[in-house]
Amino acid sequence: MTTAIGLVVNPAAGRDIRRLTGGASVSNNYAKRRTAGCVLAGLTLVDDVDVLVMPDSTGLADRIVDDAPDDLGVEFVDMTVTASGRDSRAAAAHFADHADAVVVLGGDGTTRDVAQTIGDVPVVSISTGTNNVVPTPVDGTVAGAAAGLVGSGAVPAAEATTRHGTVEVDVVRSEETTVIRGLATVGVLDRPFVGTRAILDPSDIVGGVVSRSSPAEIGLSGIAGGLVTHRPDDPGGVGFRLSRDGESGATAPATRVKAITVPGNLSTVDVAEHRVLDDGEDYAFEVDRGVISVDGEREHEVRDGTVRLRPVSDGPRLVDVESVLERAADEGRFRLG
């Protein structure tokens, strides 16, 4: 039986302004092409694999397909290319019906786009973006091997994946409600417009809700992680708001927290309040003028509205790459005799 593996390579990932103003790493299209080539090589660990590749407008996907190993069946997804996040969502919607596992090369935003339409298909997410929380910097060959093992059923998906949480947002203005969805983090910023999209100044942060938190992570999840650890597959999330202009806005004094808010920048922030949220529990902000950031990028401007955020445990099934390969080795799948 043939195993179908989806491949999403976002040519726009890892190119925002944080690479000029901070210490974020660089991932150009040549590096992504090399990583994708390694993914395809890793997939040859499993017999009878077909690869479905998301097309793009830069020619990157064409080169990946041209360089594919001869023993893999490789073809493009039949879809309209828009050079936006809609491409990842469209490809993922196709994979939801036609793929046994998916490998994503991108950042938090790309993984979020895929997560919105991928359903229950297992996802291996490789970091090629900026300031990432969800994708990991795993070798492409290793990632491809893990995707092949899970997609083929050699390692059962139910035992090799964890369900990542998400954050739902309702932006309510008079009689209009806009719904937004994030994967790891959603923040409220004291900014008048989207601008460069990246969050550069921690003093802009009003607060937010995260589906995961750890002091080892960067950005909003790192701020929350200085107070409480919340694993990606734990139900619920963490809500917090920062002190503004020296006022805590809460009955208790503000708590000072050190966090890596941007690569290369260790910041001190004053947290007015925080609490662990149950699955589906609202955490609200009244916003006169501001911007909603989603997984590290400014996405939506708000004026005179109420922003209600809630963690929801219905995100993508992410593959634990290391445990997959360890289990395969324990079962002798790397032995030739």
Task: Tell me the pairing of strands 205-210 and 185-189.
Answer: antiparallel
Residue 245: pLDDT above 80?
A: no
Lowest-pLDDT range, 45-54, 102-111, 122-131, 214-223?
122-131
Calculate mean pLDDT across residues 23-38. 82
Q: What is the pLDDT of residues 185-212, one digit of tens each?
A: 999 999 877 755 566 678 899 999 999 9
Instruction: Provide the pLDDT for residue 18.
Output: 46
pLDDT at 197: 58
Reply yes or no on whether the pLDDT at 17 is more than 90. Answer: no
248 pLDDT more than 50: no
- Among 109, 144, 199, which Cα is nearest to 6's? 144
Q: What is the pTM of this model?
A: 0.89
- 26 pLDDT more than 60: no
Read off the pLDDT of each residue in 99-124 and give the average, rounded to a whole number: 96
The Cβ-side half-sphere exposure at 141, using a 13 Å CA radius, reads 4
The pLDDT of residue 21 is above 50: no
State both tokens at 228: 């409480």
Enter the DSSP assignment of 253: P
Please state, in angstroms and as integers, the Cα–Cα distance from residue 213 to each residue in 192, 210, 259, 323, following that order: 27, 7, 11, 22
DSSP at 323: H
The whole-number average pLDDT for the span 95-109 is 96
Q: What is the pLDDT of residues 154-192, one digit of tens each?
A: 999 999 999 999 999 999 988 799 999 999 999 999 987
| Three-state DSSP class for residue 154 | coil
- List the domains of the chain with CATH numbers: 3-163+316-330 (3.40.50), 166-312 (2.60.200)
